[in-house]
A = this chain, B = another copy of it.
Amino acid sequence: MTLEYLSQNRAFNGDQFVCSHMSETTGTEMTFSVYVPPHMPGVKLPVLWYLSGLTCTHANVTEKGEYRAACAEHGIIFVAPDTSPRGEDVPDAADEYDFGKGAGFYVDATQEPWAANYRMRSYVERELPDLIAEHFPVDLTRQGITGHSMGGHGALTIGLRNPDRFRSVSAFSPIVNPSQVPWGEKALSRYLGEDRDAWREYDAVALIEDGARLDHLLVDQGTADNFLEEQLKTGALAMACAKAGMKPEIRMQEGYDHSYYFISTFMAEHVAWHAARMGA
């Protein structure tokens, strides 16, 4: 699989790459970023996946996430995919920030006109790991996943569906129960259709209700987050975990909002938390 290197910048004695490739899964050119920390030649490193939120691309966390110092310290490769297919030929919902481009919701769409390109689940679960393993020194037996908001939803649901792939799952202000909130109802109904049973594998709370489990789960949520009550509903995750006997660390962070100022504050703690569980 051919990879195009769009940029390479030295950072914290490692290298921050931005790459693109023609994706078989989405049928589009896809862009992502990869930070490779300083390491001994020939060594394979654990990999932490970061899934971004609504309206974002790979660039937001790459520029504002403040993960490189911690990844360099712990020897972790950090991969940040885009949030949707892109391009003039990709169907979009004009003027809607929470649907279409920038709002892939990490699902494989089944409804037209979305089904051909909007396949971010398969892209993140299958195509991208193979591509990364081919071109970067990653040890796929040591993976963790995290994300923010819609990307927190992505991290939780991909983590819950693939417990053998990830040693650790965390999230910043995730959408934990999309079937029950406006952002999620809009996206899931249009990508997947009106049959709500088909939504359950894309809903962290529903997945836990249906038997999925995670041994290592960390969630940070700001108390001053404007989306907390209507869209994120952290309490629903806490409740589902309690009923299931799971023991997540869910931390309400006083005074923090939904922005990258919040994410960057706790990023180093998340990286260290994953490092301890990934054997970094």
Instruction: Determine how many copies of this chain the complex contains.
Output: 2
Size category, A interface: 20 to 34
Q: In the complex, which residues of chain B have a beta carbon less than 8 angstroms from the beta carbon of A256?
A: 10
**In residues 213-241 of chain A, which contact B (Cβ within 8 Å)?**
222, 224
Q: In the complex, which residues of chain B have a beta carbon less than 8 angstroms from the beta carbon of A11?
A: 261-262, 264-265
**In residues 1-30 of chain A, which contact B (Cβ within 8 Å)?**
9-13, 16
Bound Cα distance from A68 to B259, whole angstroms? 15
Q: In the complex, which residues of chain B have a beta carbon less than 8 angstroms from the beta carbon of A265?
A: 10-13, 68
**Chain B: which residue is nearest A258 at the CB level?**
B9
A244-280 to B contact mask, C-beta < 8 Å, 1/0 = 0000000000011101111011001000000000000
CB distance from A259 to the nearest CB of B (A): 6
Take A63-B63, A64-B63, A64-B64 as given contacts and tell me if A259 and B9 are in contact as well, using a CB distance cutoff of 8 Å.
Answer: yes
CB distance from A170 to the nearest CB of B (A): 19
Take A11-B265, A265-B12 as given contacts and tell me if A260 and B69 are in contact as well, using a CB distance cutoff of 8 Å.
Answer: no
- Which listed residue (B10, B63, B64, B222) contacts A255, Cβ 8 A? B10
Chain A residues in the interface with B (C-beta under 8 A) = 9-13, 16, 63-64, 66, 68-69, 222, 224, 255-257, 259-262, 264-265, 268
